[in-house]
Structure 1
Amino acid sequence: MTSLLDRWVAAARGAGASAEDPDLEASGAYLLGRWSEPQRQYHDVSHLTAVLDVVDEYADLARHADRVRLAAWMHDAVYDPKALGDANERDSAEFAEGLLTTLGMPAEVAAEVARLVGLTAGHATGDDDPDGELLCDADLAILAADPERYAAYTAAIRREYAHISDGTFRAARAQVLVSLLELPAIYRNTPIRERWEKTARENLEAELKVLAKG
């Protein structure tokens, strides 16, 4: 089985990085260190792997699959549960562009990966953005998990926000869920939507009911 580090090097090479292999491997190891930070309960290496697996499964839906893979690696590279608004996504996008540039990535590719990372703040994409759509769908794949995995996901999210009171957390979480349910479709790509949309909406609605009970 290909290791995560090998997957990083392959994606970087595929997207145009000109750095030597040891530098690519070192940057991948550094990223894995970030994804393993102690404040991460859900946004960790398991989440990274899950997003990459979805991207790989549906790579034919993207124009530039390796750019999407790099954006998956970078989309939560900076993660502080106490950050306000979309600071994590903005900081991750800036970090992505800087790191990829140092690895010899063409400037336009580094900028595009940073743009993709920024999309994960609100998961809103344009009309003709297959790479952004695939990244967002992969990032939201957990919403369509089976009940056991979905319960583990929500529990992990609550642990990440342990510094917030129950009442405040329930209100903020409910707002996120309602905003997702109000979307015309949670998933942009037809094959993914047909596979996951119904289950995701059922999970979100069930969680909303639990939150409402307090």
Structure 2
Amino acid sequence: MAAVTSLLDRWVAAARGAGATAADPDLEAAGGYLLGRWSEPQRQYHDVSHLTAVLDVVDEYAGLAPHADRVRLAAWMHDAVYDPRALGEANERDSAEFAKGLLTTLGTPPEVAAEVARLVGLTAGHATEDTDPDGELLCDADLAILAAGPDRYTAYTEAIRREYAHVPEDTFRAARAQVLVSLLELPSIYRHAPLRDAWEAPARANLERELRALAG
């Protein structure tokens, strides 16, 4: 219960910081609804633990983002809609639309709601511009797991496979390999220098090791 309360407090603080004008009970109800979404049974990796991990990175490196509360809200929203059976970028698109609607309902200024929705959309391909430090921090935080230690990285890949248990093994391997190759082809997986310096090398090592395992 304490962990849930802490997350709800973080949600309310971020919403207020981004300009939401709804009453506290309404903000808390929205946060509770979001936590319910993040706790859906189909989620094996994209769950409350992932949300918390992304928020923790955003908090630790908030000084890198001009609008850190918008990034926090985007973290809350970026997998608010998550169906492993969805095609293409449907989850990110639907999460972005959901974010804009919910934040507007909570009295967030329209331009802020639109910007949070834009940030959410970036997580589809994790491609950002050098002039977008807010987007860079969100994408860096979302991809932080790639630089995890071997045991945690293995647990992550196993959780992803469970989310896609409905996909035949050969099909999964081919699709997963395509995702890994697209990440390895990025000029840099991480955009902000402090994160790139700490995480780029271990992330690439993890991705290359997984790619070899998929090929084998």
Alignment of 1:111-190 (within 5 A): 111-190=114-193
- Structure 2: which amino acid aligns with 1:5? L
What is the rounded CA distance, in whole Å, between the counterparts of 1:72 and 1:12 in structure 2? 12
The answer to whether structure 1 residue 20 and structure 2 residue 3 are counterparts is no
What is the rounded CA distance, in whole Å, between the counterparts of 2:134 and 2:69 in structure 1? 10
Question: Deviation of residue 127 (structure 1)?
Answer: 2.4
The answer to whether structure 1 residue 106 and structure 2 residue 102 are counterparts is no
Question: 1:196 pairs with 194, 199, 207, which one?
Answer: 199
Instruction: Report what 1:3 is aligned to.
Output: 6
Question: 1:47 pairs with 43, 47, 50, which one?
Answer: 50
What is the rounded CA distance, in whole Å, between the counterparts of 1:18 and 1:126 in structure 2? 31
Identify unmatched segments of 5+ residues in structure 2.
Answer: none
Q: TM-score, normalised on structure 2?
A: 0.98
Number of positions where the alignment pairs a residue of Structure 1 with one of Structure 2 = 213
CA RMSD of aligned residues (A): 0.8
Q: TM-score, normalised on structure 1?
A: 0.99
What is the rounded CA distance, in whole Å, between the counterparts of 1:9 and 1:92 in structure 2? 19
Question: Deviation of residue 206 (structure 1)?
Answer: 0.3
Identify unmatched segments of 5+ residues in structure 1.
Answer: none
Report the identity percentage. 84
Question: Deviation of residue 126 (structure 1)?
Answer: 1.4
What is the rounded CA distance, in whole Å, between the counterparts of 2:132 and 2:209 in structure 1? 31
- Structure 2: which amino acid aligns with 1:52? L
The 3-state SS of whatever aligns with 1:3 is helix
Runs of 4+ in 1 over 3 A off after TM superposition: none
- Structure 2: which amino acid aligns with 1:191? P
Question: 1:90 pairs with 85, 88, 93, which one?
Answer: 93
